[in-house]
């Protein structure tokens, strides 16, 4: 059965392999090229497959894609690496900005350093969080994306797909959500398995209870709408993976 599904997917995807929107693959299979090419599928939840295939082929391809999710051991490994990336980013940025062994106190965290384009105040903790996010993303690309290239997306954007309560990949900012990290079915970023956000609390209270924040709680509540097999989680260098 698996051999038939693979052959069917490869046959159906042949036109995508030579069509527009190449993504730089030269030695990949036609199946993988198609799965990675947004032009080959629609983005409407479980229907995110080949739009020009017959109903039987669509059902077979969907079943095949659905089976290609990561096992619990792989998810646990990714979560471990996410925590390590958060710790590394937290340590390296603090060391670079303040010196070896020095961490900012609450007064430094809350120090105003300027204003954004809308005139809202920017604090030092916000600036440090941005720096640490950038470092953590670099770490994730090197340590996680390398191991699971087909099952990981960094900063994917999801928006309403036209069906009540359902979300799919989008390039529109209005009404969309952009989590830091998503685990998904192989080659199917819209078929989400788990969602994560890095958090780098700076103050003493924030480090002890990073979920005691109304903005974070609203954010995690919205991420639940994307779906997946596990509740959305935050990753902090102090407490690791935190989810409801």
Domains contained in the chain, number? 2
pLDDT of amino acid 165: 78
* 103 lies in the same domain as 173: yes
* 83 lies in the same domain as 142: yes
* 126 lies in the same domain as 196: yes
**Contact partners, residue 181, CB within 8 Å, separation at least 6:** 82, 140, 152, 153, 154, 155, 195, 196, 197, 198, 235
* 121 lies in the same domain as 36: no
* 184 lies in the same domain as 88: yes
* 56 lies in the same domain as 91: no
Which helix (H) or strand (E) element contains residue 234? strand 233-236
* 57 lies in the same domain as 101: no
The domain boundary residue, chosen from 21, 46, 67: 67
pLDDT of amino acid 81: 98
* 177 lies in the same domain as 98: yes
* 88 lies in the same domain as 151: yes
243/192 Cα distance (integer angstroms): 16
pLDDT of amino acid 129: 98
The domain boundary residue, chosen from 25, 51, 67: 67
pLDDT of amino acid 28: 36
pLDDT of amino acid 179: 97
The domain boundary residue, chosen from 47, 67, 87: 67
Per-residue pLDDT of the chain in tens (244 residues, 90 and over written 9): 444 344 434 433 433 333 333 333 333 333 333 334 443 433 333 333 333 334 433 444 444 444 478 999 999 999 999 999 999 999 999 999 999 999 999 999 999 999 988 999 999 999 999 999 999 999 999 999 999 999 999 999 999 988 887 899 999 998 899 999 999 999 999 999 999 999 999 999 999 999 988 999 999 999 999 999 999 999 999 999 999 8
* 18 lies in the same domain as 132: no
* 232 lies in the same domain as 128: yes
Range of the domain at 130: 72-243
What is the 8-class DSSP label of residue 28? S
* Neighbour count for residue 214 (Cβ, 10 Å): 7
* 38 lies in the same domain as 96: no
Tokens of 111: 């120090």
């Amino acid at each position: 059965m698996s051999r038939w599904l693979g052959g069917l997917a490869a046959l159906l995807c042949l036109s995508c392999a030579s069509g527009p929107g190449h993504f730089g693959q030269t030695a990949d299979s036609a199946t993988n090229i198609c799965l990675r090419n947004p032009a080959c599928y629609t983005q409407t939840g479980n229907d995110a497959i080949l739009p020009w295939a017959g109903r039987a082929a669509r059902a077979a391809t969907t079943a095949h894609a659905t089976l290609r999710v990561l096992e619990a051991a792989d998810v646990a490994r990714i979560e471990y690496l996410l925590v390590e990336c958060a710790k590394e980013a937290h340590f390296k940025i603090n060391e670079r900005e303040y010196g070896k062994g020095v961490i900012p106190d609450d007064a430094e965290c809350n120090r105003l350093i300027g204003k954004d384009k809308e005139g809202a105040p920017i604090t030092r903790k916000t600036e440090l969080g941005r720096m640490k996010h950038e470092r953590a993303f670099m770490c994730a690309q090197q340590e996680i994306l390398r191991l699971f290239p087909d099952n990981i997306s960094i900063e994917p954007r999801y928006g309403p797909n036209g069906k009540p309560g359902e979300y799919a990949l989008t390039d529109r900012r209005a009404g969309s959500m952009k989590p830091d990290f998503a685990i998904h079915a192989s080659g199917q970023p819209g078929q989400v398995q788990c969602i994560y956000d890095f958090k780098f609390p700076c103050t003493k209270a924030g480090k002890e209870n990073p979920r005691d924040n109304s903005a974070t709680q609203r954010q995690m509540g919205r991420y639940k709408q994307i779906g997946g097999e596990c509740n959305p989680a935050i990753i902090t260098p102090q407490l690791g993976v935190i989810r409801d």
